[in-house]
Structure 1
Amino acid sequence: MPQDVDFHIPLPGRQSPDHTRAEAEQLAWPRSLGLIKSDAAAERHLRGGYADLASRFYPHATGADLDLGVDLMSWFFLFDDLFDGPRGESPEETRHLTDAVAAALDGPLPPSAPPIAHGFADIWQRECEGMTPAWCLRTARHWRNYFEGYVDEAESRFLNTPYDSAAHYLAMRRHTIGVQPTVDLAERAGRFEVPHRVFDSAVLSAMLQIAVDVNLMLNDVASLDKEEARGELNNMVMILGREHGWSRDRSISHIQDEVHARLEQFLLLESCLPKVSEIYQLDAGEREALERYRTDAVRPVISGSYYWHRSSGRYDAEFALAASSQGYLEELGSSAR
């Protein structure tokens, strides 16, 4: 099973000490918004282990800060599931929904906005609490890139032109994997901000791209069986097979090598951060924020993703069957109009 492929991540896994409480309460928020309406949908959501994922992504967070992370993970996967049916093959329908959600970045939503949009608006409001305007602008930009990526995916499906180049696919998938907004929330959950003049530095940008790439490669391998079952063609394993004529096993082995090489580079980049602090003349508080960004934001999004993918029920056969059932898609569709 691809989900059992070992990538030998050289980063220790961490988990919030408040994870048991957060897991017990995780359904309250999506139920309150009408995003989960039935016991079957609730059971399916729990099998995904999204509270577990949040507690690994934000091991430094507890209480309301961890709850925000849990709600974000719940929202991410509920939103993503909306595109598993016909909507995900229609650029027009995809654009209509992503625009309705992204409108929350610009101000209050109309009452007629779909529940999934109101859910995002609630997260966005809480996400910006206590953060600087510069941070909110930067994070909003990342969210817009995320939503735009869904339209790109829908256009590929609509035109029946699956990606034939891993490089082209990576450029699109880096947005829809949602890693950058996930890392952004680590700052909010920890009540710190990486110095803005350092954020776009070569070293930090390279570290973040590695985190993104590792996440999407782990996800594509874990979700391979599920995506093959529903006829999805845009998966890195499949794309490598088309591009190079490789077998499935050869493609997975190549992805393992790519992850290993990227993580070796990541560790090297980490060792450069003291020099970055020196070049940008960071004061003591800024140096501490940069170190927290390394330990509480970028590292956990790599290790947390790895350990969650190996334990989550989202990618097992039963989950995939539930996702493809017409009743489940109708329930999701009714919540998105």
Structure 2
Amino acid sequence: MTYQGVVFTAPWPLRFNPHVDAARESAIDWMRRFDLLHGEQAVEDFTNWRLTEVAGFFYPLADLDACCTAAQMMGWYFLPFDDQLDGEAGRDPRRVARICGALIDIVHGVPGTERHQAPTVRAFADLWERMVRGMSAPLRSRVAHHWSSYFASQLTEAIDRTDGRVHTDLEEYFQLRAATTCAFGQNDLAEHWGGVEVAPVVWHHPLLRRMRQLAADLVGLRNDSMSLVHEDVTGGHNVIHLVERTHGCTRDEALVIASGIAQGKADELVELERRELPRLARALDDSQRVAVAGYADILHDWICGDYEWERITTRHHAHRTLPEWATSLLVGAEG
């Protein structure tokens, strides 16, 4: 199989954080401290999956400390959490509810979570405190909502796995996919780490809502198409599988159709920014005009950064199975 996946073009530059090398060492040290990496093969996988690089793509303006935190977050996000729920744990909705409930407790500041038995949960308690440090109250409320939605979406997926539910409506699927990638929570962090926070009265504007949904859709299309080797085995939701079902077509035909959908969304986003964003900006004061322009760049970084990361990572080159040492990372999170 080739690793081209869904393809589309967009006019925005790929930006990259200059602190990535230092952040990589920080992330490896942090993950080892919380028992999230065991042995040289795990470190090699972390490096070859380019998890620090994706942090650099998503948060190009983050300072050294924030870039280190972002790299740790990406390390936590994949094997210690996401891959756990691709396995047996993710086929038991009640267990998923308990695990994700513990993580939502952290997001909402429930005391004692830093002493949790499960390494994955305990590590996230340490990570979250630094992720939100220095945030304004409105942004902290927003990022807590989006990360809670991300964790809650794992229960939705677990129920769908056990029931065998599949999506047939593309736009309905994209709403779920935005939650399962934590798209909006990642965008929130880019505001915090890029110094371009959008005021609540502006952030809720329908134009920005549509722009961030389009960005999330593009990332979902690209990621789903590149992870097929794994998800053809594990099942679960995938937009390429959805297109194959609804169009009754081959894999290659589905990728062409999905690429057309992606290009349409990229073109819509470009046109919205050309036609509608200046209209919104004219109604704002100088600081919020700058913030809205920065927010558009955050979405560009999210789209272009994911596109490039999917190209260079080895994460999707084969079906992934949990190494034996990793099977204990969520033990104790169920009670």
TM normalised by structure 1 equals 0.91
Contact 1:48 1:314 in 2 (8 A): yes
Question: What SS does the corresponding residue of 1:124 show, helix, strand or coil?
Answer: helix
State the partner residue of 2:288: 286
- Provide the C-alpha distance between the structure 2 equivalents of 1:245 and 1:328, rounded to a whole number of angstroms: 41
Aligned residue pairs, count: 329
Q: CA deviation at 1:171?
A: 2.5
Letter in 1 for 2:68: D
Provide the residue aligned with 2:98 in structure 1: 96
Residues 8 and 277 from structure 1, CA distance in 2 versus in 1: closer, same or farther, beyond 3 angstroms? closer
Give the aligned partner of residue 166 of structure 1: 170
Structure 2 match to 1:217: 221
Q: Which residue is equivalent to 1:330?
A: 327
Aligned residue for 1:25, secondary structure, equals helix
For the Cα contact (< 8 Å) 1:101–1:118, is it kept in 2?
no
Give 1:21 shift.
2.3
* SS of equivalent residue, structure 1 residue 3: coil
Worse-matched range after superposition: 153-162 or 204-213: 153-162
Q: Structure 1: where are the runs of 5+ without partners?
A: none
Segments ≥4 residues shifted beyond 6 Å: none
Which of the numbers 227, 231, 241 marks the counterpart of 1:227? 231
| Structure 1 residue 49, shift from structure 2 partner | 0.7
Equivalent positions of 1:151-162 (< 5 A) are: 151-162=155-166
Bigger shift: residues 89-98 or 101-110: 101-110
Cα 1:112–1:68 change in 2 (3 A) is: closer
Between the two proteins, what is the percent identity of the paired residues?
28
Aligned equivalents of 1:334, 1:243: Cα separation in 2: 39
State the shift of 1:124 in Å.
Answer: 2.2
Counterpart CA distance in 1 for 2:45 and 2:9 is 29
| Deviation of the 1:278 alpha carbon | 2.2
CA distance in 1, matches of 2:124, 2:235: 26
Q: 1:259 aligns with which of 259, 262, 270?
A: 262
- Check whether the contact 2:51–2:71 (CA below 8 A) recurs between aligned residues: yes
2:8 pairs with 1:4: no
2:225 partner SS: helix
1:130 is aligned to 134
Q: Which amino acid aligns with 1:180?
A: F
Matched-pair contact (CA < 8 Å) for 1:2–1:221: no
RMSD of aligned residue pairs (Cα, Å): 1.9
SS of alignment partner, residue 164 of structure 1: coil
Q: Which residue does the alignment assign to 1:55?
A: 56
Q: Residue 197 of structure 1 corresponds to which residue in structure 2?
A: 201
- 1:293–1:325: structure 2 CA closer, same or farther, 3 Å change rule? closer
Q: Where do 5+ consecutive residues of structure 2 fail to align?
A: none
The amino acid that maps onto 1:92 is R
Deviations 1:146-187 (A, max 9, x none): 111110100011112233333332232221012111111111
Partners in 2 of 1:286 and 1:264 — Cα distance?
25
TM-score w.r.t. the length of structure 2 is 0.92
Aligned AA for 1:330? Answer: T
Is 2:237 aligned against 1:240? Answer: no
Residue 184 of structure 2 aligns with which residue? 180
SS of the equivalent of 2:22 reads: helix
Contact 1:13 1:300 in 2 (8 A): yes
The answer (yes or no) to whether the contact 1:35–1:335 under 8 Å persists in 2 is no
Residues 1:325 and 1:21: Cα distance change in structure 2 (over 3 Å): closer
Shift of 1:113: 4.5
What is the alpha-carbon distance in structure 1 between the residues aligned to residue 129 and residue 256 of structure 2? Answer: 42
How far apart, in 2, do the equivalents of 1:53 and 1:31 lie?
Answer: 20
Contact 1:233 1:239 in 2 (8 A): no
Task: Give the aligned residue type for 2:147.
Answer: W
- The answer (yes or no) to whether the contact 1:2–1:225 under 8 Å persists in 2 is no
Q: What is the CA distance between 1:274 and its match in structure 2?
A: 2.3
Q: Distance in 1 between matches of 2:248 and 2:264?
A: 22
Distance 1:168 1:32, change over 3 A: same
**What secondary structure is seen at the aligned counterpart in 2 of 1:80?**
helix
Q: Distance in 2 between matches of 1:145 and 1:231?
A: 23
CA offset digits 1:66-97 (Å, max 9, x no partner): 11211221121131011121111111111111
Check the 8 A contact 2:98/2:333 in 1, yes or no: no
Structure 1 residue 122: deviation in Å? 2.4
> Which stretch has the larger CA shift, 13-22 or 261-270?
13-22
